[in-house]
């Protein structure tokens, strides 16, 4: 199953995360016990900051649950639920969907990496695309006076 999240305050678009396969867990050198908990794209948050989490569902009722932070919030289609947490220690924390939401229920891991503010800022920078350079405004052109036989033209709009 897929978990999508975004950081609107940091202008980070939606990030799609899925659970790691057993092979991916082994390739990353993680303990086998993290199969079903580790995610392809963990959420990243700064330590010591209040993090607001808004949760909704796209198909059926799910639940955003992270026991280490005392979180469990239902994700209901058509409804926006909200909670918050303040992680006090750097580390990696795991949770899962805790509703019986369907056949893939056990494949909905939630992984949150709590990092220093500097590491968070670097992560945000790696996830945002640099803004395209603004094109230079065209130079203003002042037309020559119209011949006496031509009708007068309306004045040009001021340049923005």
Domain parsing of the chain, residue ranges? 2-127
DSSP state letters, 32-95: GGGTTT-BSS-EEEETTSEEEEEE-BSSS-EEEEEGGGTEEEEE-BT--EEEEEE--S-EEEEE
- pLDDT > 80? residue 61: no
The per-residue pLDDT for 4 is 81
Rounded CA-CA distance 131/125 in Å is 12
63 to 16, 51, 55, 84, 153: CA distances (angstroms): 17, 17, 8, 14, 65
Whether this model's pTM surpasses 0.85? no
**Which pLDDT tens digit goes with each residue over 32-53?**
988 888 888 888 999 999 999 8
Residue 119 token pair: 């590491």
The per-residue pLDDT for 105 is 55
Share of the chain above pLDDT 70, in %: 72
Query: 2-127: which CATH topology?
Result: Immunoglobulin-like (2.60.40)
* Residue 124: φ, ψ to 5°: -60, -45
């Amino acid at each position: 199953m897929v978990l999508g999240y975004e950081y609107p305050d940091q202008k980070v678009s939606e990030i799609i995360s899925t659970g790691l396969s057993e092979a991916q867990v082994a390739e990353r050198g993680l303990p086998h016990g993290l199969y079903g908990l580790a995610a392809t794209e963990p959420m990243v948050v700064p330590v010591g900051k209040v993090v607001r989490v808004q949760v909704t569902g796209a198909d059926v009722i799910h639940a955003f649950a992270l026991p280490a932070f005392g979180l469990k919030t239902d994700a209901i289609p058509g409804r926006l639920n909200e909670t918050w947490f303040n992680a006090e220690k750097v580390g990696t924390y795991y949770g899962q969907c805790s509703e019986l939401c369907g056949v893939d229920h056990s494949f909905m891991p939630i992984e949150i990496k709590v990092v220093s503010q500097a590491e968070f800022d670097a992560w945000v920078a790696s996830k945002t695309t640099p803004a395209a350079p603004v094109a230079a405004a065209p130079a203003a052109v002042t037309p020559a006076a119209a011949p006496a036989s031509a009708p007068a033209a309306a004045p040009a709009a001021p340049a923005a």
